[in-house]
Amino acid sequence: MRDYLSRELTVAVPADSGRFTGSERPGDLVHALVYVPRDAAAGRMRAPLVVCCHGLGESGLRVAGVGQRLAAAGAVAVVPSFRGGGAPTAGSTTAMSVLTEIADLESILGTARAWPFIDAGRTALFGRSQGGLVAALEAFRRPAQVAALVLWYPALRLPAAMRTRFGAPSAVPPTFTHRVDGRDITLARRYALDIWGLDVDAELTRLRVPVLLVHGDRDADVPITVSERAVRLLPDAVLERVPGAAHGFGDERFADAMARTEAFLTWCQVLEED
């Protein structure tokens, strides 16, 4: 395990990124925590890059532990707090959508991949819950930049869920709530409209990077059937089931999920063998 340094990063997002046109606009800055192996910070090595995407209604603090473990394993881990996700990010949840989060992720990637201590050819994305959907869509859009993808209980059926819930775009109210992790998250109409026409299944079938899915078999928010379907559609993927786990991993389940994640990223040659 390597020693690492902790830093903070603020990145500007171009105006109108994500095409969000709601009455309440997200801020134009994305804040992130950055964990850098000390050898990379000192210029003694070029390290892989892993950007870790949090779930709906969260900040990067929710996946900071993942970033810290990856930094200890030798990667530069960047943990953004997407706009509209929660402190310290600007804006409320009614000022975000999956598209604004993709725009945030692209801005973070563009900045981090240019750092001199980064081996940009070993870039991976991690995402949990809605962050898994965001990471998967970004990997599809930037296949030359992403070498591997790790998705924990990814909310890949969100577009289909919006269509099932409301039936037609005109039926989406100005605001509505979406329940996840026992919390009701207030969202704006734009959230549903931005993902309304997304065909996630079609994009998964064309995704040409290795993918690890880790999913609990007692997840009520994102049933494991979502990942079971995804692993059948993805050309190069493996599903690791976590017995007894609900939406989120804690204690020994977190350690187990991290061990599987690190082993996968080592197999993909993103992380180096110890």
Query: Dihedral angle at the C-alpha atoms of 245, 207, 76, 107, nearest 10 degrees?
Result: -110
Pick the closest to residue 146 from 127, 129, 130 (CA basis).
Answer: 127
Pairing of strands 29-37, 76-81: antiparallel
Q: CA–CA separation, 178 vs 182, rounded Å?
A: 10
pTM higher than the cut 0.85: yes
List, for residues 25-42, the tens digit of each pLDDT value. Answer: 555 889 999 999 999 999
- Tell me the CA distances in angstroms from 235 to 40, 129, 164, one per residue in order: 33, 21, 27
- C-alpha–C-alpha distance, residues 217 and 153, integer Å: 10
Return the exposure string of 161-179: e unless at least 16 CB atoms fall within 10 Å of the residue's CB, then b: ebbeebeeeeebeeebebe
**CATH 3.40.50.2300 for domain 4-161+198-267:** no
**DSSP string computed for 7-47:** EEEEEE--TTGGG--SSSPPPSEEEEEEEEEHHHHTTS--E
The domain spans of the chain are 4-161+198-267
Which pLDDT score, from 0 to 100, does residue 16 have?
Answer: 61
Instruction: Specify the pLDDT at position 263.
Output: 98
pLDDT of residue 85: 72
Q: Show the CA angle centred on residue 234, arms to residues 83 and 82, nearest 5°.
A: 5
**C-alpha to C-alpha distance for 57 and 187, rounded to whole angstroms:** 10
Confidence band, pLDDT 50/70/90 cuts, at residue 20: very low
Please determine, for residue 172, whether its predicted confidence score (pLDDT) is greater than 90.
yes
Mean pLDDT of 255-274: 94
Whether omega for the bond prior to residue 210 falls within 30 degrees of 0, making it cis, is: no
CB 85 within 8 A of CB 58: yes
Distances (CA, A) of 209 to 140, 149, 270: 9, 7, 12
pLDDT, tens only, 139-155? 999 989 999 999 999 99
Question: pLDDT (tens digit, 9 = 90+) per residue, 39-88?
Answer: 999 999 999 999 999 999 899 999 999 999 999 999 999 999 999 875 54
